[in-house]
Structure 1
Amino acid sequence: MTPAEPLPSRILIYGVYGSGKTTLAARLSRLLGIAWRPVDDLTWEPGWREVPMRVQRERIAELCRRKSWILDGAYRDWLDIPMASADLIVGLDFGRWLTLRRLLRRTARLVSTGETICNGNRETLSSVLSSESIILWHLGSFGRKRRRMRQWAAASPGPRVLLFSTPEELDAWVAGLPVSSPEAGPRRR
């Protein structure tokens, strides 16, 4: 962001699984003082029960009516909602091997520690080896999400799009953002 540009207050972070969307959302929330709402909290109930799509759309619409927000992702079935009100899309267009390596490392950690992810859910070895594995989701959606981000960056019909192809580019951009307050911590609402 340049000094002449207003700071965004409604930010959609978009990328493939393992690109670092949630990590960036927490970081931006802390720096900019904007509330971040993890998408997984809105779309999964305990026991890995998916929230019905109608309810997901209602939840996302309610959040996107607010003055400011950060979302760490968007599902195809309700992508239109944040796209209509976002000020900025941050596209994490990192390579397949980097994102897959990150995803494998994170998944292995979550399986081994039993750490909760959202609404009390946990990754298990059986979930990783199932047909609904996040690793399979990564492999199946990588090309589609990458094409979508690149199309937005080339000719966004709506919000401004910043596309980062390396973590170093992203870190340089974040380092140039003004800090809201030094004691601000991650804000999840």
Structure 2
Amino acid sequence: MERILVVGVTGAGKSTLAHALSSHLGLSYHEMDALYFNGPNWAINDKLTEDVSRLTAAPRWIIDSLGYPEVRDLLWDRADTVIWLDYPKRVIMPRVLRRSIRRTVTREVLFGGNRETWTDWLSREHPVWWAWSQHGARSREVGRRVRDPRFAPLSTFRFCHPRDTAAWLASL
């Protein structure tokens, strides 16, 4: 486990697990949303492919994302391990709701200096709506990828409940 993708739907705990693994395994951690959003008004990094290519050329790293479409195959080609947080909506939704409420109320600064606002909650791209609407599609996409012969060399760990993830992490 030297080039790790932590994948799952919004709110699964990808960043939290990636941070923990980074510390435990001594891997450099890269937050995909911070790479993708690099300016005000949720500006998208026009050098995302270059940045991700450079980071994943290193021998050891961990990234908390399935990958945005522009870099998805690059990430999966270069990873050696996928950790799939395949939690049900009943686990995901309370987490993402709590996180988004906290971020909105506290005006927490996010990627590129952006913040979640109450107005953002009306957008289909807001994390709560995104987690709800993309849950099934995201799970199917990861399932297809872990079964794809092109990615067969990947070691895959699939966890369907946070307690299973926690037990696995404690066993490392």
Q: TM-score, normalised by structure 2?
A: 0.91
Identify which of structures 1 and 2 has the higher relative contact order when contacts are C-alpha pairs closer than 8 Å and 6+ apart. 1
Structure 2: gaps of 5 or more residues: none
Q: Helix, strand or coil: the match of 1:149?
A: helix
Q: Give me the whole-angstrom Cα distance separating, in 2, the residues matched to 1:89 and 1:23.
A: 15
Aligned partner of 1:139 among 132, 140, 165: 132
Compare 75-84 and 152-161 and name the one that shifted more: 152-161
Asked if 1:50 is matched to 2:48, the reply is: no
2:7 is the counterpart of 1:14: yes
Q: Which residue identity lines up with residue 32 of structure 1 in the other structure?
A: L
1:60-71 mapped onto 2 (5 Å cutoff): 60-71=52-63
CA positional deviation for 1:30: 1.0
Aligned to 1:162: 157
**Is contact 2:124–2:130 with CA below 8 Å preserved after alignment?**
no
Distance in 2 of aligned mates of 1:155 and 1:15: 17
Q: How many residues align?
A: 168
**Secondary structure of 1:76's aligned partner:** coil
Which consecutive unaligned segments of at least 5 residues does structure 1 have? 1-7, 178-189
Identity within the alignment, %? 32
Corresponding residue of 2:85:
92
- Structure 2 residue 168 is matched with structure 1 residue 173: yes
* Structure ranking higher in helix proportion: 2
Q: Given that residues 127 and 133 in structure 1 are in contact (C-alpha distance below 8 angstroms), is that contact kept between their aligned partners in structure 2?
A: yes
Let me know the Cα RMSD of the aligned residues. 1.5
Contact 1:93-1:149 at 8 Å conserved across structures: no
Which residue identity is paired with 2:43?
A: R
Amino acid at match of 2:37: W
* C-alpha separation in 1, matches of 2:149 and 2:128: 29
- How far does the alpha carbon of each residue in 1:90-127 deviate from its partner, in whole angstroms, 9 at most, with x for none? 00000012111110010000011111122321111111
**Kept after mapping to 1: 8 A contact 2:120/2:126:** yes
Match of 2:16, as an amino acid? T
Distance apart, 1:149 and its partner CA: 2.4
Question: Counterpart amino acid of 2:61?
Answer: W
- Secondary structure at the counterpart of residue 119 of structure 1: helix
TM-score of the aligned structures, taking structure 1 as reference length: 0.83
The one-letter amino acid of 1:70's match is I
CA distance in 2, matches of 1:66, 1:151: 26
